[in-house]
Amino acid sequence: MNKKKCIIIQARTDSRRLPNKILSNIEGKPMLWHVIDRIKNMNVDEIIIATTTRNIDDEIVKISKSFGVKIFRGKTDDVLDRFYQAAKKYDADIIVRITADCPLIDSIESSKVLEEFMKGNYDYASNDSETYPNGLDTECFTFNALENSWKDSKLKSEREHVTPYIWKNPKKFRTKVVNNNTKVKLDYMKWSVDNEEDFEFVKTIFAKLYNYNNNFTMNDVLVLLDKESKLKNINSNFIKNEGYLYSLDND
């Protein structure tokens, strides 16, 4: 029996640190548009945008409809419930979780996480590894793992961040960390967008690469940063928040 694989992208407009960041213009398109565009060719059955029921998130729905992807509207702060209800509505067996503030997401690297997940009898896999920059974050998990987490998660942080209950309970769930093939430490790099400096960094990367190859990869960015190392200084004040891949602002 084939299992239905769905990407769910969580998206909301009212980020505390950088409001409306996922609607911000990068090379003539909103950030969310680029996120969808960069993962649309992954080997999955559905792409689902999980946003809120609030009017302020109507623009997210418009962008999503332009791609013909599925839409689910649910709770604002209980993102775990929003994910669960979205997965349930669209009969997802395998969920790939991506956030809307990662416009440098690389479908090749995200596909590696999904492929590794599918090879083993895992409940959960991610590339939360020191071998990846922050901003290529990809998680895969079963609907059963999501449902168990939805039922058992009690902490606010577990409801806001979707997957902490899974990776904090290794005795309940079989998990896998996927590493970049080079095994080089890259987690000091900040490629997700949380503040103005991050957005300026991402815009600069797109300005230098997008017109030559609109599907540029992680390796293309690394080559660019090696040639123009000063680009790293744009948002070099980033300090990794150990223990959490995502904040509510990623939503």
Structure tokens at 44: 């999955």
pLDDT, one tens digit per residue, over 14-70 is 887 888 999 999 999 999 999 999 999 999 999 999 999 999 999 999 999 999 999
Residues spanned by the domain of 18: 5-250
Write the CATH number for 245.
Answer: 3.90.550.10
Residue 247: predicted pLDDT: 42
Strand partners, 52: 74
3-state secondary structure of 99: strand
pTM: 0.93
The four Cα atoms 193, 162, 67, 199 give a dihedral, to 10 degrees, of 0
Strand, helix or coil at 25? strand
For the stretch 80-129, pLDDT in tens is 999 999 999 999 999 999 999 999 999 999 999 999 999 998 999 999 99
Here the tokens at position 199 are 């957005």
The pLDDT tens digits of the residues spanning 115-165 come to 999 999 899 999 999 999 999 999 999 999 999 999 999 999 999 999 999
What's the domain count of the chain? Answer: 1
Helix (H, G, I), strand (E, B) or coil at 68: coil
